[in-house]
A and B are shown apart, each in its own frame.
Chain A
């Protein structure tokens, strides 16, 4: 197998809400005010191999979107390293760095907010490849037409504005925009969450088809385990900024290891379970502003021990290609 196309090593992202003037003054006078820090992503290691689809799953506030944005190069990380094909972006010469940045593209959740309403579809799709010299003025039209056809849009509509399209078609425009710069790696951040079931199936099929045609690698971020299971080769589960479990899709769904994964898989409503009795996991997702000590999951975990409150479990290999962070694995 080829080496990882994108690799994260101990990547963290902190969002700091600074003190305002009044708070700074109060602090000078000895009041106990501190900056609020959110550890959105906490020392995450992640490697995505060429041609692979990795599903990144978690609930709101677990940092999955922040991680996706770091991978796509939209947000800088606070700590840690991101390697593209084994090399740090900052070490590359300018031209290669731009090439590497173009090779990683992102498709967003909201097809309404992620398209500029004042630009025509032809410009939304055609601007970046023209700027980066992937096409020239003379061929730009045909380039846009080809890209639109590839994602199932009629090129006859290219003079239109985004508001003239339905949700599913807009999502196709977003996909076309990402594909127009010929990426190798695409980060899909909840890219089908806003769509109706029948349209969602159409877009998922498009993702599968494009992967085959263009040999794409995906980081597929979603809260929908059904979608992730269908599409991914490998799944990474996050909880409050940390990776709690990782494994191949079949393994992880068949034998979840971490209690959070077990709870998450147990909660998915499925078509073939009728009139089931829900046995929900207790408690709410804690605020990332003030995460629980030790293992973040311990207040909701049915197996929590004294050790879980004080010591954060490390993400360790429990089987080849399978990692989990839970103290229960030490006992055996």
Chain B
């Protein structure tokens, strides 16, 4: 078995706000291997994006990584000096954001931005960098890349802009890409196109991919492994088939039940009562217990994770964990 491209061990990222300490990422562990796609699923405020930012070393104050390790090819990047992280970021590890307008500079041509990204990590001349930029655009399915390189971001449609962002992430042939809700803002047919490109990419370039999303169905068709996050913790982890067919955590089961296509037409959906608690004011013990129909007195104690690769954090798992 090859070593993991990225392994996150007991990561803790806290935000020190005036109202108190917010544990956005709380004891999170997972790993991704070469050519594999990991789906990180959760609702708003579950800490999935902060996990992505922590891997990239992009957590801004008042947030801080207070514990755990992020090993990229065996090397711990938490607490690494900024100049060394910069050598990795955008080069060996790249990120794709939800809103491509946030990634692209509106006043610079696409070619300027792409050539800059190549030359930041590689001492090549402009011509070579331009060729690489053109090839990357072609790779993500942008028609006539030579002409499109000279365009500004606003001249692209939403889907095309997201392709440009993906192309920039690909420029230096990274070993790991962290994609934070990259298709959420896109239409169904355009989302299909992007997912197609991403799948092809993971297969051809053997890039490891972390796909952060709230959409279980996207993960079902794309990923190899799933981590489900709730209130800053990974509550369930396992292969796509295991987690979706035999969910062990009541929250995962509730999420799957909430998807309309899983329910008989016109019948009420299986719903999770209540709302996600404020991260500043989490209930003691299992954070899900106030919304859970299986909860009892034992849930007031923090549930220990059961299992290793197939893992669940619940006192009353719905499925057997080996």
Contact bitstring B45-71, A, C-beta under 8 A = 1, else 0: 000000000000000000000000000
Q: Indicate whether A229 reaches chain B with its CB closer than 8 angstroms.
A: yes
Q: How far, in whole Å, are A168 and B273 apart by their CA atoms in the complex?
A: 12
**Does A230 sit within 8 A of B, measured CB to CB?**
yes
A201 with B199: CB separation less than 8 A: no
A275 lies within 8 A of chain B by Cβ: yes
Asked whether A271 lies within 8 Å of B261 as measured between CB atoms, the reply is: yes
Partner among A169, A201, A205, A267 whose Cβ is within 8 Å of the Cβ of B189:
A267
Given contacts A269-B220, A271-B220, A274-B241, contact A227 B254 (CB under 8 A): no
Q: Which of B188, B214, B263 contacts A264 (CB 8 A)?
A: B188
For residue B240, CB closer than 8 A to chain A, the reply is yes
Assign chain B's interface to a size class.
35 or more
Q: Is B248 an interface residue, CB under 8 A from the partner?
A: no
Tell whether, in the assembled complex, residue A166 and residue B192 are in contact, meaning their CB atoms are under 8 Å apart: no
B218 within 8 A of A: yes
Q: Which residues of B contact A205 (CB under 8 A)?
A: 268-269, 271
Residues of A189-241 whose CB lies within 8 A of B: 196-202, 204-205, 208-209, 223, 225-227, 229-231
Q: Tell me, in angstroms, the Cα distance from A229 to B265 when the chains sit together.
A: 7
Q: Are A280 and B192 in contact (CB under 8 A)?
A: yes
Given A271-B261, A280-B196, decide whether A285 and B220 contact each other with a Cβ distance below 8 A.
no
Interface string of A224-265 (1 = CB under 8 A from B): 011101110000000000000000011000000000000110
Q: Is B157 in contact with chain A by the CB < 8 A criterion? A: yes
What is the bound-complex CA distance between A83 and B199, given in angstroms? 49
Give a binary string over B239-250; 1 marks a CB under 8 Å from any A CB, 0 the rest: 011001000000
- Across the interface, which residues of B come within 8 angstroms of A204, CB to CB? 260, 269
Contact A269 B215 (CB under 8 A): yes
Q: Is B269 in contact with A201, judged by CB distance below 8 angstroms? A: yes
CB of A197 within 8 A of CB of B259, answer yes
Q: Does A94 contact B (CB under 8 A)?
A: no
Chain A residue numbers with a CB within 8 Å of B281 are none
Q: Is the CB of B275 within 8 A of A278?
A: no
A201 close to B258 (CB less than 8 A)? yes
Shortest CB distance B26–A (Å): 19
Distance from B274 Cβ to chain A, minimum over Cβ atoms (Å) = 9
Contact A281 B192 (CB under 8 A): yes
Known: A196-B43, A197-B255. A230 touches B221 (CB 8 A): no
Provide the A258-292 mask, 1 if CB < 8 A to any CB of B, else 0: 00000110111111111111111100110000000
Residues on the B chain within 8 Å of A274, using CB: 220-221, 240-241, 244
Most chain-B CB neighbours within 10 Å: which of A274, A276, A279?
Answer: A274
Whose C-beta in chain B lies nearest to the C-beta of A199? B275
Would you call B4 an interface residue if the criterion is a C-beta within 8 Å of the partner chain's C-beta atoms? no
What is the size, in residues, of chain A's interface with B at 8 Å between Cβ atoms?
Answer: 46
Q: Is A78 an interface residue (CB 8 A)?
A: no
Question: Residue of B at shortest CB range from A196?
Answer: B43
CA distance in complex: A6, B221 (Å) = 39
Q: How far is the CA of A35 from the CA of B268 in the complex (A)?
A: 49
Determine if A60 is an interface residue (Cβ-Cβ < 8 Å).
yes
Tell me whether A59 is interfacial, beta carbon within 8 Å. yes
B260 adjacent to A271 (CB under 8 Å) = no
Contact residues in B for A230 (Cβ distance below 8 Å): 260-261, 263, 265-266, 269
Separation of A275 and B202 alpha carbons in the complex (Å): 12
Q: List residues of chain A with CB within 8 A of the CB of B261.
A: 226, 229-230, 270-271
Known A208-B266, A271-B220: A196·B44 in contact at CB below 8 Å: yes
Contacts of B260 in A (CB 8 A): 201, 204, 226-227, 229-231
Q: How far is the CA of A273 from the CA of B272 in the complex (A)?
A: 24
A278 touching B217 in the complex, CB below 8 Å, given contacts A226-B259, A230-B263, A269-B195: no
* Chain A hits for B273, CB < 8 A: 202
Q: A197-B259, A270-B217, A273-B221 are in contact. Are A264 and B189 (CB under 8 A)?
A: yes
Q: A198-B43, A198-B258 are in contact. List 17 more A-B contacts (CB 8 A).
A: A196-B44, A197-B215, A200-B258, A201-B270, A202-B272, A209-B268, A249-B265, A267-B191, A271-B220, A271-B256, A273-B220, A274-B220, A275-B224, A277-B199, A281-B189, A281-B193, A284-B160
15 pairs of residues in contact across A and B, judged by CB atoms under 8 Å: A59-B189, A166-B275, A196-B276, A197-B43, A201-B260, A201-B272, A202-B273, A209-B268, A225-B188, A226-B261, A269-B215, A269-B217, A269-B222, A274-B220, A278-B195
Binding site for A on B (CB under 8 A): 43-44, 157-160, 187-193, 195-196, 199, 214-218, 220-222, 224, 240-241, 244, 254-263, 265-273, 275-276
Name the 3 nearest CB pairs between A and B, nearest first: A201-B258, A230-B260, A267-B192
